[in-house]
Structure 1
Amino acid sequence: MKINIPLLLALFCLPFLGFSQTATVKGVILDDAQLPIVNVNIKAGNNGTTTNENGFYELKIPANTDVTIVFTHLSNKRIEATFNLKNGQELEFNPVMKTEIEQIATVVINSNTRQSVEGVTSITPEVIRTIKGAQPGVENILKTLPGVNVSNELSTQYSVRGGNFDENLVYVNEIEVYRPFLIRSGQQEGLSFVNTDLVQNVDFSAGGFQAKYGDKLSSVLDITYRNPIKFGVRADLSLLGGSIAAEAVSKDSKFSGIVGLRYRDNSLLINSLETETNVEPVFADAQTYLTYKFSDKFHLNFLGNVSLNKYNFKPQNRQTNFGTIDEPVALLVFYEGQEKDQYLTTFGAFKANYFASEDLTLKLIASAYHTTEEEYFDILAQYRLGEVNSNIGDENLGEVEFSEGIGSQLTHARNDLDALIFNVEHKGDYKVDDESTIEWSVKYTHEDIRDRLVEWEVIDSAGFSVRPPIFDIPNNQPYAPFEGPLEAFQNVRATNGVQIDRLQAYGQWSKRTMLGNNEVFYNAGVRVHNWTVNSDIPNQDGVSSSTQTVFSPRAQFAIKPDWEKDMLFRIAGGVYYQPPFYRELRDSSGTVQPNVKAQKSFHLVLGHEYSFKIWDRPFKLVSEAYYKNITDVNPYTLENVRIRYRAKNNAEAYAYGLDMRLNGEFVPGTESWFSFGYLKTEENIDDRGYISRPTDQRLKFGVLFQDYMPNLPNLKMYLNLVYNTGVPGGSPSYADPYQYQNRLRDYKRADLGINYVFVDQNKTYKTGWKRHFKELTFGFEIFNMFNVQNSITNTWVRDVYSKRQFAIPNYLTPRVFNVRLSTRF
């Protein structure tokens, strides 16, 4: 198999021949009293095993074929279950052995039918943990999917099909999670909430999702943390930090728990940037997911998280070269001062599950999220903007010889935020018959946010203080002195106390049946969301309270024709609302506007899936065309990862595009995919005409590729490639965005990882030091392998002579090397 990538990768991109394909079925076998059964005989063909004293078993079976496993015991009726699993897939199967009724079951895992009909992309934890990136985790995988834009490797934020970072829902075990409010750059983010060491399953939907998911406009990321079935420890160590996760289960299998600790230090990445700094970016968190089974009908879960982000930043100097070969220009900056940020978040949630019968399940979820955030900085930047010596051989090559702009910028902030969010929710689902299910929920949320915002910026150009261009006083700086009072170029001061009460509910019906010889799936539902905003301080119009209600009907239909070719067609749509969260209520002056409406979007998604085989290996082509019509739009500006809203519903927008993804076993035993996305999204502000939205990214190509050496299969290669066309580069402060529609450079990035596997499920040892490990890998990683200069935003610097403003690109990380050790006991 020939791989058309650089010679550096060629040695690692050869197919592996002759490797047997297997999958794993494991679990705990219980009796009627929910107690583990010892010495259950488990057999599949010539392979067999027995359960231990905890009722645990683990069995290897052939992949990509129907395999019947037989469970037998002297005191219980036997069970037969048929499986069809992918190569390398692990399935947890926990049967209950009855003393009365013989049980025969067929488990349909082949082709992920549920995800297909619902328009959900499912990602395995093994892929998440192995694929390399400067910001590892779920978000690192999402950026290779079509329709998803992650153009900042230091950030865990992503935009989907033209939406912004605030338009994405994230759930962990049906519990909605939040992210900090004040973070303004990817350097400050640190860790994603999702701990990949705890993950069992990841589902992602980029639009047209069901009513059971909340009120956001763009996407749903639905994470499931696993319930352990035996003791285990997983550890990971690299130059960027480390993680450890431990899991265990009690002897009676009633209590199980998993705990994860993570530490990350981004100094290796931040010190590679063009700004020379003394920086201490330290991020740490602890998470746990616990389950106690009081009986076979009542289970109680707890999800907890404590996260601390500390970011101490002392910039020293920076030089950015830009312009053209004929007219090179450079920006030199010398800094004084520092920035100190701290974000402490705690989160806890209880989830009670009551299995009233085989058809009825009732749930009660109560959660609390608390964040205290501090953002303090005083930074003086003195800059020179000038022409660069481009004479090859000159001893001053690359230095600024003629200054076109000289000035300074002093920025100050003392921002504090304290937010407390409570949720109480009842959920239920009732299986009407073998084909139909009804699901419902009622949820109450209380949000209490206390916020002090103090930011100002003073700009000096050639000895003259630059005033904000929003006053009618004549000002001809820097050519003539200004005799009016001094005024900061930007000055935002606000103190807010806001309470938001929300009442949400949904009901939906799903049915899977036959239409002639064709399989069909229906889903229809509606959400209702009522919210009341109360502000301690009235806005400019004297408004301090507002109550609004929205209804969101949604529907899906899928059909799998009885054709020789394995195809599925899907259509989904509905009206989606996004009631404003706190940041969407706060305008550019820091004032809260309680009467901001919910943004409204009509979704229409047409999907097609085609499953086929090449080289006798499975492949799938997934295509989706989509259209969004968005009204009551709240326009915003994007500064790195900070979003600043206008807190006005004075725009309308649209988005449409095409997403395609081809995934399969390009190399036997590994999953890889190639994705393509086309997007166009524009907005019309105050009826002035349509311009590109900040997330208007036209073309997207993503590749996730895995390979290994044919004669050395333990040497594995993981490649993560992303190419995005540039998004709009933004505009200077107070500028009209209609006059600034230039785009940033195209985003091109390749991350490579090469691992040597000492121990894994296919290579175990019974003697020697390796016998203590279930997995042991060591490797190195190359981030931004081709050292491409990508930029995320522009810094705007004015020319003192012509009054022009130059867009200086803020470049992201260059090539960085890392080493990593991963193990599991």
Structure 2
Amino acid sequence: MKCIKLLCLLLFPAVLIAQKATITGVILDANNLPLSNTNVRTILNGSVSDSTGFYFLEIDADQQINIIFSHLGYKDVILNKLLLTTNETFEFNPILRTDITQIDEVTITASGKKTAGAITTIAPEIIRLIPGANAGVENVMKLLPGVSSNNELSTQYNVRGGNYDENLVYVNEIEVYRPFLIRSGQQESLSFINSSMIQNVKFSSGGFQAKYGDKLSSVLDITYKKPVSFGLQIDANLLGASATLETSSKNKKLNSITGIRYRDNSLLINSQETITNINPIAFDFQTYENYTVSKKLEIGFLGTLSSNEYRNNPTSRTTNFGTLNEPKSLTVYYAGQEQNQYKTVSGALKATFHVNKNTTLKLIPSIYHTVEEESSDIIAQYQLGAISSDFGEVSNRRRLGTQFNSARNTLDALIFNLEHKGIFNKNEGKLEWGIKYSHEDIRDQLRESEFLDSLGFLIRPSNIDFINNQPADPFDAPILALESVNATNYVQTDRVATFVQYSKQLDWKSNAVYFNLGARSQHWSVSGKNISTNSQTVFSPRAQIALKPNWKKDMFFKIAAGVYHQPPFYREFRAANGSVNPDVKAQKSIHTVLTNEYSFILWDSPFKLISEAYYKDLSNVNTYTVEDVRIRYAANNNANAYAYGAEFRLNGAFVPGTESWVSLGYMKTEENSDNRGFIARPTDQRIKVGILFQDYIPTIPDVKMYLNLVYSTGLPGGSPNYSDPYLFNNRLRDYKRADLGISYTFVDENKRAAKNSWFRGFRELSGGFELFNLFNNQNSITNTWVRDIDTKQQFAVPNYLTSRILNLRIRMRF
């Protein structure tokens, strides 16, 4: 054992230095009212709550700490054996009573407090520090075993065999929507979530509670900060910049956090094979305001504004592909341009009313509006050649044809939500309920076409009969696009969703038992111009049960099961030809998730091993194809499917004072359309490995290293448009990527600048560099299907992603 420990210390050099974690929250009395001037102390230090009951205390990380909450006239609350990792923030809201001393023994490990709700917590500081082409929450989530995304230009992700549309995202209990028309990752730029504004992050990859909405795959639950003092943070790098302002009034009743972000993806896009003149500009403004009206009433406001303009003038592209025996090269010459705009604005109010010590009521109205426009005219002439094995030169070039793609798409979506939630606590039990009304008004115009010709002969749709006897007879048939979509849709959807759930903790033979039982229902009605009105209702029972046995080893077992429905949104109503089918049913999935958490101390540091096995039985499946990040549904329910897998994640302080993890996942998902047999779904990614590692130089601890590595087996390569997916079973190559970040901390909470130093004006200052795609792997997300008109053969040409890129970064806080 000593040899193993010595080897690990040699591999992961570090020194034991004092690192900090934070505990924060609001202290309440028995009437659920804020309690000011409460002492919060450890053996080494202490703090006092303010007039709103808020407290903030820094403690030593990676050590078991006892914390005492005391106030004259009230019995103490004692929090025993609190164990947090470096930079972890733990929220604890104690209630002080006059009749009993409360003692709570909580073991917090690197992934947070054990819960019965199938929730993973992620430290916000990790999200802000870990490098990635799209740094942020999604960048870190892709290192979790059940989450996959083989496109560093996109913030979208798949969870356990689901697609991008099957994930719920909340910010302060307000549901977030993503743009509709974006078709490629390089058009996305910014995620909705501003990482600099985050307080807490919770994520569930399946088996989540009834209080979360109607989606099939996952929940990402974000909480933005409530600042207690002034702060200004600025981040800048070669891809963009951001500024975050935190303010709080003198009486702490009004606080706000506001973020502005700018991003230009040119550095990433220009590393790809297509030579282009590109101008992808994204701007984002977000603010969250919170006002405490009284001891019982609190009002919050979340406002967002984003504008994304994407202009692209491609000139040429050369891609080498094929096999070692038959290497090929595709050369494409372009003319034309692509100009897209995506503009969204949203606003939401959140009123929280504490009726009494047991009951809390919430009212959340929100509105979301997006206007998206696509204008594209691209002409591509392409030729195919063989690569010489001797000199690597391209020979035997053949001109395959000319392709003309045109698009004039516009979408205007207005979504209004009005939601009520309630919580009732009594005798260690919690009853929660909610009702939500939503109105969706979608106005969509699709104008897309593709023309293809070779040597002047126009290739026509295969489903149209005509006779071409040129040159003996003149060819006077009208010119038709090989593929085209021409549709105008006006669709309104009204939804009413309700949920109720009850949770409680019990003691059973000295063992702790947690359970949560609940159910959801949703009724929706679809109407619109030239479509028939249709209504449907679904019901979804769900349950989670957890057991914490009274063993010497810290083990925790959970089982979650339930029925999950995904009522169709507008994208799922719309078929590939642009028509709307209002009769599309809700997709249905029966989840079963088994979980074991084993927490232990190794080398005087906390570790946790999380193991999960799951099975999903899907029916009423609406089949789809994926082109980059664009999903095109068949708008039917003619398939059934399944997904099963196992996942493991070991995380903890591999290097003292840091948090790292290693994850491994296996997953298989297949679908059966019209009883033709099971084939791989577009998200069938079998093996996934993710590594997040943090380290620092022992002699210079201010020099820190952040590394994330991802390996996953190849996804199905897809099929050409309007082709039978049962005839195309190829897979993309395996995805391999490593991103490295090196930073130096000039000033932070533990390293104050000297009085005569010009650094003295900073509360925090760090700078460094990042290497994206460290090993310069050629990864691809989709194939471009090229037709050889002479032989009628179609070639799957991989669309390679970004190569190795150097990025410089600076971060400062005042």
TM above 0.5, yes or no, is yes
SS of 1:117 mapped into structure 2: coil
Q: Deviations over 1:378-415 (max 9, x none)?
A: 010111111234433xxxx53x3212342111000110
Provide Cα deviations, 1:213-249, integer angstroms capped at 9, x if missing partner.
Answer: 1111101111111111111111110000011111111
2:801 is matched with 812
Q: 1:318 to 1:565 in 2, by over 3 A?
A: same
Does residue 558 of structure 2 align to residue 570 of structure 1? yes
Q: Identify the match of residue 60 of structure 2 among 59, 62, 79.
A: 62
Question: 2:580 aligns to what?
Answer: 592
Alignment match, 1:467: 460
Q: Is 1:18 matched up with 2:16?
A: yes
Alpha carbons of structure 1 residues 390 and 260: separation in structure 2 relative to 1, 3 Å = same
Given that 1:570 and 1:606 are in contact with CA atoms closer than 8 Å, whether structure 2 keeps it comes out as yes
Q: What are the within-5 Å matches in structure 2 for residues 653-672 of structure 1?
A: 653-672=641-660
User: Shift of the alpha carbon at 1:312?
Assistant: 0.5
Distance 1:822 1:471, change over 3 A: same
> Corresponding residue for 1:166?
165
Say if 1:736 and 1:360 are closer, same or farther in 2 by CA, change over 3 A. Answer: same
Letter aligned with residue 301 of structure 2: F
Q: 1:441 aligns with which of 416, 420, 434?
A: 434
Length, aligned pairs only: 806
Cα separation, partners in 2 of 1:785 and 1:480, compared to 1, 3 Å = farther
CA shift for structure 1 position 569: 1.3
- Alpha carbons 1:405, 1:801 under 8 Å: kept: no
Specify the alignment match of 2:593 in structure 1. Answer: 605
Question: In the TM superposition, what are the counterparts of 1:504-519 in structure 2 within 5 Å?
Answer: 504-519=497-512
2:409 is matched with: 415
Match of 1:82 among 49, 59, 79: 79
CA RMSD in angstroms, aligned pairs only: 2.8
Give yes or no for contact 1:535–1:594 (8 Å, CA) kept in 2. Answer: no
Partner letter of residue 265 of structure 2? N
Aligned to 1:47, which of 24, 45, 48?
45
Alignment-mate amino acid for residue 437 of structure 1: K
Which letter maps to 2:597?
E
Matches within 5 A, 1:390-789: 390-392=389-391, 397-398=392-393, 400-434=394-428, 436-473=429-466, 484-538=477-531, 544-767=532-755, 768-789=757-778
Residue 326 (structure 1) shift? 3.6
Aligned to 1:687, the other structure's residue is in SS state: coil
Q: Partners of 2:52 and 2:705 in 1: how far apart? A: 37
Instruction: Return the offset for 1:607.
Output: 1.1
What's the counterpart of residue 235 of structure 2?
236
Q: Given that residues 112 and 120 in structure 2 are in contact (C-alpha distance below 8 angstroms), is that contact kept between their aligned partners in structure 1?
A: no
Residue 700 of structure 2: SS of its match in structure 1? coil
Partners of 2:317 and 2:475 lie apart in 1 by 31
**Contact kept? 1:405, 1:800, Cα under 8 Å:** no
Mean Cα deviation higher: 222-231 or 164-173? 222-231
Shift of 1:475: 6.9
The answer to whether the Cα contact below 8 Å between 1:14 and 1:710 also exists between their aligned partners in 2 is: no
Separation of aligned partners in 1, 2:469 and 2:513:
70
Give the whole-Å Cα distance in 2 for the aligned partners of 1:814 and 1:385.
23
Identity of aligned residues (%): 56
Kindly provide the amino acid, as one letter, of the partner of residue 597 in structure 1. Answer: K
Paired with 1:33 and 1:663, the residues of 2 have a C-alpha distance of: 36
Residue type of the alignment partner of 2:406: H
Which blocks of at least 5 consecutive residues in structure 1 are unaligned?
5-9, 539-543
Aligned partners of 1:91, 1:734: CA distance in 2, in Å?
51
Question: How far off is 1:735 after superposition?
Answer: 1.6
Q: CA deviation at 1:711?
A: 1.2
Deviation of 1:487 after TM superposition, in Å, equals: 1.4
* Contact 1:405 1:798 (C-alpha < 8 Å) held by counterparts: no
Offset at 1:28?
7.6
2:181 matched to which residue of 1?
A: 182
Distance verdict in 2 for CA 1:740–1:339, change over 3 Å: same
Deviations along 1:166-223, whole A, 9 cap, x unmatched?
0000011111110010000001111111111110111111111111111111011111
Shift of 1:567: 0.9
SS in 2 for 1:334: strand
Report the secondary structure of 2:125's partner residue. Answer: helix
- Per-residue CA deviation, residues 512-549 of structure 1 (Å, 9 max, x unaligned), is 111112111111111110000002023xxxxx210000
- Between the aligned partners of 1:145 and 1:481, the Cα distance in structure 2 is 62
Secondary structure class of the residue paired with 1:583: helix
Change (3 A) 1:775 1:92: farther
Tell me the equivalent position of 1:139: 138
| Gaps in structure 2 of 5+ consecutive residues | none
Question: Which position in structure 2 is the counterpart of 1:384?
Answer: 383
| Local SS of the residue matching 1:146 | coil
Alignment partners' CA distance in 2, 1:595 and 1:632: 12
* CA 1:46–1:509: 2 relative to 1, 3 Å: closer
- Counterpart-to-counterpart distance in 2, 1:361 and 1:221: 23
Aligned to 1:295: 294
How far does residue 61 in structure 1 lie from its aligned partner after superposition? 2.5
Structure 2 contact 77–94 (Cα < 8 Å) conserved: no
Are the counterparts in 2 of residues 56 and 230 from structure 1 also a CA contact under 8 Å?
A: no
Query: Closer, same or farther in 2 for the Cα pair 1:587/1:137, shift >3 Å?
Result: same
